[in-house]
Amino acid sequence: MQVHGIHHVTAVTAKIQENVDFYTRLLGLRLVKKSVNQDDTSAYHMFYADKLGTPGTDMTFFDWPQTPRDIKGTDSIANTMFRVNGRAALEYWVARFDERGVTHKGIESFAGRDILRFEDAEGQQMTLVDDQGSVFEGEVWDGAGVPTEHAIRGFFGVTLSVPSLERFEPIFTQLMGWEAITTLPSLDNPGEKVAIYAMDGGGPGKEVYVIEQPSARRAMLGHGGVHHVAFRVTNHGEQDGWLEKLNSLGVRSSGLVERYYFRSLYFRISNGILFELATDEPGFAVDEPVETLGQRLALPPFLEPQRAQIEAGLKPV
């Protein structure tokens, strides 16, 4: 049983307008769905993706302005990696980041690929990775002024930080079915190990890096941090199989949760790391034409009766 790559990554912001500006105007992603957190309708839930909202391209944010700043550390989802095509694209982004005052570390090399590490407007750790021209299932967004040949092409992977690789290894290989590819020294601290795992054949969008940080303090989620990472399952039948597997192994889960744009299944692998298995179906165009995605507040049918109340509680963005 396999998951098929990263579906989406959900993080926390305390400054929603700055967040929209950073991800759409600076990174050049498309706002494909402006909605609310279905468990907390006082908060926006913004979805940034490629032109079509393709699974595997969707960075999302909960707007929680009262949260403190994220405390970085172990037992967390530490870095979100996007993919671009070629070194020229990385050089374009270095120039763009320098022009816009974005903190970055310049072009480096890791695991045989050129990378560019940077921070978003609230200090979230991110990386652009040269996907070396690998096939991209989606369609880049051309409405933000970023040349299409340099545009972000969805996720490359995520980095998790754990206190002990030995403890987590069975979760990755036996529960999730990932293949251990290699282990390398960390770029920041050669004394720390980074294990690389591949799902469903690996490659762009299908890799998870796990850095072992036994001496680091525990992370504490706040704005500028990642809430959870979701992995792709194709349809309800496949997701039902995962629920049966989790139940058979005694892994506590949320059970199946209907999110309207996809169906979700959540479970924790630790106090700080939350996994979600999300269906590719039906997608963001289920209630809006592709041409006008993200232009109005979208609510799933069960929240429509509360639209006036929900809209009254949201600040204009």
Q: Which amino acid, one-letter code, is at 185?
A: P
What the block records as the tokens of 62 is 């909960």
Inform me whether the pLDDT recorded for 232 exceeds 90.
Answer: yes
Q: Hey, what's the torsion of the CAs at 163, 167, 173, 177, to 10 degrees?
A: -80
Over residues 33-84, the pLDDT tens digits come to 999 999 999 999 999 999 999 999 999 999 999 999 999 999 999 999 999 9
Mean pLDDT on 278-299: 95
Inform me whether the pLDDT recorded for 1 exceeds 90.
no
CB within 8 Å of 181: residues ≥ 6 apart: 196, 197, 198, 202, 207
Q: Quick check: 159 and 197 in contact, CB under 8 A? A: no
Q: Which of 132, 133, 124 is nearest to 59 (CA)?
A: 124
Estimate to the nearest angstrom the gap between the alpha carbon of 270 and the chain centroid: 18
pLDDT at 220: 97
Distance CA 190, CA 185 (A): 5
Say how many CA atoms lie within 13 Å of 61 toward its Cβ: 31
pLDDT band for position 117 (cuts 50, 70, 90): very high
Global pTM reads 0.96
Instruction: Please enumerate in sequence order all residues whose Cβ is within 8 A of that of 244, keeping only pairs 6 or more positions apart, or say none.
Output: none
- The mean of the pLDDT values for the chain is 97
Residue 262 banded pLDDT, cuts 50, 70, 90: very high
Q: What is the DSSP string of 49-102?
A: ESTT--TT-EEEEEE-TTSPBPBP-BSEEEEEEEEESSHHHHHHHHHHHHHHT-
CA 287 to CA 298: how far, in whole Å?
Answer: 8
Model confidence at 234, pLDDT cuts 50, 70, 90, reads: very high
Class of residue 6 by CB neighbours under 10 A (exposed 0-12, middle 13-18, buried 19+): buried
Distance CA 72, CA 266 (A): 23
DSSP tag of 297 = B
- Output b/e per residue, 291-314; b: 16+ Cβ within 10 A: eebbeeebbeeebeeeeeebeeeb
Instruction: Using pLDDT thresholds of 50, 70 and 90, give the confidence band for residue 237.
Output: very high
